[in-house]
Structure 1
Amino acid sequence: MALTDADVQKQIKHMMAFIEQEANEKVEEILAKAEEEFNIEKGRLVQTQRVKIMEYYEKKEKQIEQHKKIQMSNLRNQARLKVLKARDDMITDLLNGARQRLSEIAKDPGKYSTLLEGLLLQGFYQLLEPKVVIRCRQQDVEMVQAAVKKNIPVYKEAVKRNIEVTIDSERFLPSHICGGVEVYNDNGKIKVSNTLESRLELIAHQMMPEIREKLFGANPNRRFMD
C-alpha cells in the first residue's frame, strides 16, 4: 500500500522530531560536560591562585617581620650606644674632676712633699738601677732634691745597694701638669712615670670595674671579678 504525501510528511516530521530530540539531548550532555569541566578547571585555577596569593602574603609577612626585627635591633643598638656614650661621658667628667682636684695637692707643701717622697722611692724600687735621672716640674726642684736626699738612705737600707740620683736641669716636666716625677735609668731607655696624672690613669684603669659598678650597678654579663 503506497504511502500518501500526508503519511510521508508525518514520518518526516516524526524523524525530524526524533533527530532534534537527540540533538538537544546531545547538546545538553555536551553543555553539562563542559560545565563540569569548566567548574573543575575553575576550581583548580582558583585553588592554584589562592595558594599563590597565600604564599605571596606569607612571604610579604615574613619580609615585614624580618624588617621589623632588623629595625628593632638597630634601635636597640642605637639606644645601647647612646647609653654607653653617656656612661663614658660621665666617667670622663668624673676623671676630669679628679684631675682638677689633683692640682690642689701641690698647693699643700706638707702633703705634696710626702707624696713626692713616696713616688720617688717607688721609682727607685721599680728600676733597681745604680744610676737614675729624675725629671720634675721646674717649680718642684727644691722639694724633689729634699725628697731624694731623704730617700737615698732608705733605698740603700732596703735593697743593700748604692744609688746615684741626678735631677735633670735641662728638661723639666710641663708646668701645667699637676705634679709628680718621671724616673729614668742612666741611658734614658727605661722610664717609670710617676706623675700625678699617670698615677690617676693607672688607678682609674685598675678600678674601672668598681667605678662602673658604683655608678651604674653590677654588670649581669660579667663572669669574672678579677
Structure 2
Amino acid sequence: MALSDADVQKQIKHMMAFIEQEANEKAEEIDAKAEEEFNIEKGRLVQTQRLKIMEYYEKKEKQIEQQKKIRMSNLMNQARLKVLKARDDMISEMLSEARQRLGNIAKDPARYSALLDGLILQGLYQLLESKVTIRCRKQDFQMIQASIQRNVPIYKMAVKINMEARIDQDNVLSPDISGGVEIFNGNGKIKVANTLESRLDLMAQQMMPAIRMSLFGANPNRKFLD
C-alpha cells in the first residue's frame, strides 16, 4: 500500500522529532559530563592552589618567625653590650677616682714613708741584684734616700748579699704621678715598676673578679672563679 505524501511527511516529522530528542538528550548528557569534569578539575585546581597558598604563607610565617628571632637576638645582644659598657664605665670611674685619691697618700709623710719602705724592699727582693738604680719623683729624693738607708741593711741581712742602691737623679719620674718608685738592675734591662699607679693597676687586675661580684653579683654563666 502506497503512502500518501501526508503520511510520508508525518513519518519524516516523527523521525526528525526522535532524532532531535536523541540529540537534545545527548547534548544534555555531554553538558552534564562536561559540568562534572569541570567541577572535578575546578576542585582539583582550587585544592592545588589552596595548598600552594598555604605552603607559601607557612614559608612566610617561618621566615617572619626566624626574622623575629634574629631581631630579638640582636636586640638582646645590643642590650647586653650596653649593660657591659655601663658596668665597664662604672669600674673605669671607680678606678679613676681611686687614682685621684692616690695623690693624697704622698701628702701624709708618715704614711707615704712607710709605703715607700715596702715598695723599695719588695723591688730589691724581686731583683736580687748587687747594684740597683731607683727612679722617683724629684720631690721624693730625700724621702727615698732615707728609705734606702733603712732598707738596704734589712735586705742584706735577709739575703746575705751585699748590695748598693742609688737614686737616678738624671732620669726622674714625672711629677704628675702620685708617687712610688721604679727600680732597675745594674745594666738597666730589668725594671720593677712600683709606682702608686702601677700598683693600683696590678691590684685592680687581680681583684677585678671580686670587684665585679661585689658591684654586680655573681655571673650565672661563669663556671670557674679563678
TM-score under structure 1 length normalisation = 0.98
Task: Specify the SS of the correspondent of 1:193.
Answer: strand
Task: Specify the SS of the correspondent of 1:150.
Answer: helix
CA distance, structure 1, for counterparts of residue 77 and residue 188 of structure 2: 47
Task: Specify the SS of the correspondent of 2:169.
Answer: coil
| Structure 1 segments (4+ residues) deviating >2 Å | none
Task: Specify the SS of the correspondent of 2:184.
Answer: strand
CA distance, structure 2, for counterparts of residue 84 and residue 225 of structure 1: 19
CA distance, structure 1, for counterparts of residue 47 and residue 159 of structure 2: 95
The amino acid that maps onto 1:187 is N
Residue deviations 1:24-71 (CA, integer Å, cap 9, x gap): 111011111111110111011101110111111111111111111111
Match in the other structure for 1:153: 153
Task: Specify the SS of the correspondent of 1:194.
Answer: strand
CA distance, structure 1, for counterparts of residue 202 and residue 223 of structure 2: 23
Task: Specify the SS of the correspondent of 1:197.
Answer: helix
How many residues are paired up?
226
CA distance, structure 2, for counterparts of residue 129 and residue 5 of structure 1: 153
Residue deviations 1:73-115 (CA, integer Å, cap 9, x gap): 1111111111111101100111111111111000000010110
CA distance, structure 1, for counterparts of residue 50 and residue 115 of structure 2: 85
Displacement of 1:164 in angstroms is 1.1
CA distance, structure 1, for counterparts of residue 27 and residue 37 of structure 2: 15
Match in the other structure for 1:92: 92
Q: What pairs up with 1:8-47 in 2 under 5 angstroms?
A: 8-47=8-47
CA distance, structure 2, for counterparts of residue 82 and residue 58 of structure 1: 36
Match in the other structure for 1:207: 207
Match in the other structure for 1:130: 130
CA distance, structure 1, for counterparts of residue 221 and residue 81 of structure 2: 17
CA distance, structure 2, for counterparts of residue 118 and residue 73 of structure 1: 51
CA distance, structure 1, for counterparts of residue 83 and residue 41 of structure 2: 62
- Asked if 1:217 is matched to 2:217, the reply is yes
Match in the other structure for 1:56: 56
Q: What pairs up with 1:45-194 in 2 under 5 angstroms?
A: 45-194=45-194
